[in-house]
Amino acid sequence: MLYIHTALPAEARPIIDHYALRAHDASAPFSLYTGPQTRLVVSGVGKTATAAAIAYTCARFSDQPGPWLNVGIAGHKTAALGTALWVQKTVDTATNTPFFPALALSPPCAGSVLQTVDQPRVDYLTDALYDMEGSAFFQTAQRFVAAELAHSVKIVSDNSEAPWQSLNRERVQGWINDLLPVIERMRTELESLAAVWLIQQANPPHFEGTLSRCRFSQTQKNRLRRLLQQWHSVAPDMSPWPPDHAEESAAGLLDALEARLGDSSHLPY
């Protein structure tokens, strides 16, 4: 499941159409759209709205975590209108704090620094992208997924020759449409990475079933999770609990599992 964040409805529309997404819940505080492999949230403009929208979406779909992609228009001092650029680094201009997205994929197109500003501006001080959401997107998304699973791709919508005041919905939608092949490339790589990450996050087989047998403290749950992971890695086709086992306490179950795990029949390789 890929999660996409946009600030504006006009940025979202081509993606909604491309993936045939449907409105998820009219009562949600943000516009949410969903499909079999993609969910999209429209936050509104700015860092606070962005952080809230991502946190809300992650909490709402906490049972289906996945990679995040921020898609949107951005200003740039010199780049031509319609140029696709992935974000190599963000700088929150309010604090001058740099952040480098963690890279584990091939750059999907040319890259750029992204300056996240609090107010729209026309002075384009440095040769970088300008938006109003990017730094908040990264800071929030990587609290919910591995840092490598949060990325941003922008399309240049205004520059020093063509200021943002001349933007309209049709042009924005046209540019985002042009960005779809880049989004698809990133989607493929992000989903491949996410599959590995999900293995790391998953509870091992028999975990929930064992928890239901008796009361485990949090420390015992952690130990059980680790022991069952280990069991599954050395004996993936065997139940950790033989039919005749009689342990009834959490401590007894854990000790018995640890003892069985050490049996020489499970020696790997």
Partner 1 sequence: MFKTIYVEEAVAHHPRTQATLARFSDAQRIPCKHYGEVFNRAAQNFRLQKRQPSLILAEKRGQRVLPTPAGYGIGSQTNFYFSHMLNCLYDCRYCFLQGMYRSAHMVIFINYEDFYEAIDEQIEQTSTERPYFFSGYDCDSLALEGITDFTRDFLTFFAQRPHATLELRTKSVRTHSLLDRDPLDNCVVAFSLTPAAIADVLEIGAPPVARRIESLGTLADRGWPIGLRFDPLLYHRNWREHYRDLFEAVFARLRIDRLHSVSLGQFRLPQTMYKRMQQLYPDEPLFAWGLAEKDGQISYRSELAESLHAFCRDELLQHIDPTIFFPCPSTTLNDGVAP
Q: What is the contact surface with partner 1 in residues (CB under 8 A)?
A: 88-89, 98, 100, 102-107, 110-111, 142-143, 146-149, 192-193, 196-197, 199-200, 202, 204, 226, 229-234, 261-262, 266-269
11 vs 148, which CB is nearer to partner 1?
A: 148
170 vs 237, which CB is nearer to partner 1?
A: 237
10 vs 153, which CB is nearer to partner 1?
A: 153
**Nearest approach, Cβ of residue 206 and partner 1 (Å):** 14
**Nearest approach, Cβ of residue 223 and partner 1 (Å):** 12
22 vs 100, which CB is nearer to partner 1?
A: 100
For strands 111-116 and 129-131, give the pairing: parallel
Q: Which of 37, 222, 204, 59 is nearest to 144 (CA)?
A: 59
Instruction: Write out the two tokens for 157.
Output: 């919508």
**Nearest approach, Cβ of residue 141 and partner 1 (Å):** 10
Instruction: Write out the two tokens for 85.
Output: 């650029």
Rounded alpha-carbon distances, angstroms, from residue 179 to 107, 163, 175? 14, 21, 6
**Nearest approach, Cβ of residue 44 and partner 1 (Å):** 25
6 vs 140, which CB is nearer to partner 1?
A: 140
74 vs 167, which CB is nearer to partner 1?
A: 74
**Nearest approach, Cβ of residue 203 and partner 1 (Å):** 10
**Nearest approach, Cβ of residue 185 and partner 1 (Å):** 13
CA distance 8 to 30: 11
Alpha helices in the chain (DSSP H): 9-18, 47-60, 134-141, 169-201, 207-211, 218-234, 250-261
Are the C-beta atoms of 156 and 81 separated by less than 8 Å? yes
Burial of 244 (0-12, 13-18, 19+ CB in 10 A): exposed
CA distance 254 to 252: 5
